[in-house]
Structure 1
């Protein structure tokens, strides 16, 4: 029941479509431009740096806040607290990617995934952020940096799981399994980007799409 509640609460938080709302405030439906999704990268490309940063922060916080609340609510269950946080984060990603009131057409969940990374461990945050910045600076492919960060999340959680970190005892397998779902979701939502990366035609940051 706790898992279902965390998923449902996360999904409700994920329904706050920062990019869609920001676009509407400026007279456009962001999903009709650029890559067609409501995420921060498309907002950056279509509406500029201020829009991209605003949308990223909004989507980031809509994961961090419910994950923090989950941590507080289940602090007396340290062996499962992090598992419940992952369920909450996964719910946010699902709500962000598939908002029912927008015809299930949302974003790709990377800013929300960043919120999960931040909520789990500051060391993981530093590693993912450093790799993301380096990759984007060198290649100018935001999608590549995002995918690598999601893989680091999975590897990190698997290693910490084996080490018995985060107080995980009964929830060890489940912890890694939910993380794997989050990573697979990132790759699935970026499948078109992956195809373009392989062909060398992926959009680079800074190149505005009409």
Structure 2
């Protein structure tokens, strides 16, 4: 039951579509512009740097907020289960962000929300590694999609490494659940980027700073 509650909490936070609301403030539906996505990259490309930055921060920290709420609700009675519940809440945020019911289940791709999950469930070194990896690969390739998929892959590897080294202070099936939910997050990210992957294979993926093809 706790897991379901945490997913629902996360989903509700995920419904706060920062890019969509910023677009509405500018009298546009961001989902009808650029790539048709409600996330950070499309906000940056279609509404400018300030909108992109606000969308990134909003989508990232709604995940942090969801995890903090889960800690507040369950922190005293389920300490050993808390890392698992935090992961479920983060997954819920990503689901709410990607598939908001009130927007016809058409939201973003969940990378900024995943960044919030990385902040909430790993440590500062993993956050810095992910940041450097993302900035580095995007600077070199100019493909945001490649940087995004690299970051979620690093996240999963980091969760496993941290878990095996006692970071989450839990063992057995709880640890397996943490790995399972983290892997689910990776699967969602790759699924949401399936068209980007096809374009990368064909060599016509959109580069940052270039007009959408």
With the shorter chain as reference, the TM-score category is over 0.9
Q: Does 1:112 align with 2:110?
A: no
Shift in CA distance, 110/48, structure 1 to aligned 2, threshold 3 Å: same
Q: 2:158 aligns with which of 156, 164, 177?
A: 156
Question: How big is each residue's C-alpha offset from its partner over 1:95-137, in whole Å with a ceiling of 9 and x where there is no partner?
Answer: 0000001100100000000000011122210110110010011
Alignment partners' CA distance in 2, 1:69 and 1:86 = 13
CA contact (8 A) 1:78 1:167 kept: no
User: Equivalent residue for 2:207?
Assistant: 204
Instruction: Work out the number of aligned pairs and report it.
Output: 210
Structure 1, unpaired ranges of 5+: none
User: Equivalent residue for 2:194?
Assistant: 191
Shift in CA distance, 122/71, structure 1 to aligned 2, threshold 3 Å: farther
Following TM superposition, the consecutive aligned residue runs of length 4 or more in structure 1 with deviations greater than 6 angstroms are none
Q: Does 1:132 align with 2:134?
A: yes
User: Equivalent residue for 1:16?
Assistant: 16
TM-score (norm 1): 0.96
Supply the RMSD in Å over aligned alpha carbons. 1.3
Q: Which stretch shows the higher mean deviation, 199-208 or 94-103?
A: 199-208
Question: How big is each residue's C-alpha offset from its partner over 1:63-104, in whole Å with a ceiling of 9 and x where there is no partner?
Answer: 111112223333343322111111000000000000001100
Displacement of 1:61 in angstroms is: 1.1
Displacement of 1:11 in angstroms is: 0.3
Q: Does 1:176 align with 2:187?
A: no
User: Equivalent residue for 1:32?
Assistant: 32
The 5 A counterparts of 1:37-76 are 37-76=37-76
Alignment partners' CA distance in 2, 1:96 and 1:180 = 18
The 5 A counterparts of 1:62-101 are 62-76=62-76, 77-101=78-102
CA contact (8 A) 1:78 1:168 kept: no
Displacement of 1:189 in angstroms is: 0.2
> Match of 2:190, SS?
helix
TM-score (norm 2): 0.95
